[in-house]
Structure 1
């Protein structure tokens, strides 16, 4: 089975978003730079030294800047896969669509979004191997 390991949501104003989730839920935000697409990582629970949630089944998330040229900018989940190319083939064979190619996220792994048979944008991540995980 492939678990959900991350969630993503769009944001118009990442400073406002970070303050909202910190105030409402105690989440901690880490704003990345231009080299990482101005993505904002959020920790939703206590983490270990590698940044992974300590609580079994807990996940962290992230916010990406809204862009007028990107389709389906809605909250979505990220599913961990062992082999992203193989998983892309399975998504297509099952009736989904993978409109792009995987991108490398430095220090994280390979990532690609897809659309399921219901039109939902979902993503897959082939994580880099981490010691102890």
Structure 2
């Protein structure tokens, strides 16, 4: 019998300047990254803790990776969406979709990262 799990297990965010992208995500979310070369592509792996819920992924630089507003949208959790948006903009990002109520689920917002990707935020309601 196979273990039931959520369908998404990993993501990659395309970048053109991996050092700039690492600095951006470190500034906005205080992430640390582990750098790797995978199939001749530069990767900066987001933190991952086996015991925690959710998935992880990487910043990815290579011939097949093209930043865009038109692809999949990744949502990052935040405890304070206003503060996170402010830091993203101060770090070179641009507001794409302002903080908006998502009903009982909390709040969402979107910004453009340093590489031109549409990135979303989610802040759950404090219950």
TM-score bucket (shorter structure): 0.3 to 0.5
Normalising by the residue count of structure 1, what TM-score does the alignment of the two structures yield? 0.45
